Chain A
Amino acid sequence: MAKQEIILLDVWANMYSMKVKIALAEKGIPYECKCEDVNNKSQFLLDMNPVYKKVPVLIHNGKPICESSIIVEYIDEVWNDKAPLFPSDPCGKAHARFWADFINKKLYQIGRKLYTTKGEEHEAARIEFMDCLKLLEGELGDKPYFAGESFGYLDLSLIPFYSWFQVYETYGNYNFDLTMSAPS
């Protein structure tokens, strides 16, 4: 592959940015990371992501790709010579996309309610968040990774939440080690 210019617009604590960084690392792709200030977004970010004005944004040879799941699929398709992140069969891919979509739609939104709501709404979020994690745990089963023997798309979609577990445990009043029935 000819010399590539790869830039990642990022915020260090952002779980979606972490997904992209893991994918880039899995593929051994060197890149320049530019940290954004969410309270003072750069003109560059606004130019590269005019629709949502959010990170992460991957800029590959000057062309922006936005939305973390879409960026990860792009990385897997372009740098397809090593470390495949997706199963090769359409059914396996659909399965991975479904659960990653579940994580994006449910886990993040409900997790956010743990530290932004109170009272009954908070209690409902606590229960729903744990239900989501148990569903994912069930999906993992006894396999080392979600798709089986190899680390892949679904693992990297979920693992960034692990860095936020202390936040969720504190605000959700959980102890994940006791609550989860199997080491996950």
Chain B
Amino acid sequence: MAIAQTQNITTCRSNGGGSEVVLLDFWPSMFGMRVRIALAEKGIEYEYKEQDLANKSPLLLEMNPIHKKIPVLIHNGKPINESCIIVQYIDETWNDKSPLMPSDPYVRAQARFWADYVDKKVYETSKKIWTLKGEEQEKAKKEFIEILKVMEGQIGEKPYFMGESFGYADIALVTFYSWFYTFETLGNFSIEKECPKLIAWAKRCMQRESVSKTLPDSKKIYDFFIEMKTKLDL
């Protein structure tokens, strides 16, 4: 199991001295996983607070009054919302090790572009796979594979999205890997068959401890999904 569920408050050593870092999250969330990977890459200790999304806590509602969603990073009492914004914040604040963003502004813009592409395209399209049936689901599957192929093309022969180093764009997409088994089972298709290089990239990312210790087991995600589907009658 890949998640930290400690309720103990631990202090964090940052280059600026001691600081308190709290993460409001929900273990199957691909967006929450992004933040957990970034925190692990930087070796930042934090308090993990699991949230019940069916019964949102006053803390979550106070820390994210606009969207009322996880993940929320609370650093010394100040909330940061939206997973990609949080990852950039972590990189800028704990900038003494493991840079997550490329140093060149043009390459950095490309990394932001691809993370933004994941945000705009991957989640919404994958949702259609598990909410639609018949012809509409087939259409959604095709669309999903096309999106993955675009990203597979961008990675090309490189080890990671932007080249030799694992970083921001990889973090944005790799968390969906834990949900691939669920999409494949529901949609009755194989992502590896369609996008073998993308799966090779994902497995390469999984060799990093920050990723392998963060991503929950794929079958566990599937079981969670089935339970949620039954409760919500999807």
Contacts and interface: CB of A to CB of B under 8 A. Distances in A.
Given A51-B150, A90-B89, A90-B92, A98 B81 contact: yes
Given A66-B113, A70-B113, A98-B81, A91 B89 contact: yes
B106 A74 contact: yes
Contacts of A65: 106, 109, 113
Contacts of B42: none
A93 B116 contact: no
A38 interface: no
Contact of B86 (A63, A77, A94): A94
Most buried by B among A73, A93, A94, A97: A94
Nearest to B67: A102
Which secondary structure dominates chain A's binding surface? helix
Contacts of B109: 65, 70-71, 73-74
A36 interface: no
B138 interface: no
Which secondary structure dominates chain B's binding surface? helix
A94 B89 contact: yes
A66 B117 CA distance: 11
Nearest to A80: B105
Interface string B24-57: 0000000000000000000000000000000000
Nearest to A139: B66
A117 to B, nearest CB: 20
A2 B88 CA distance: 30
Contact of B105 (A77, A90, A135): A77
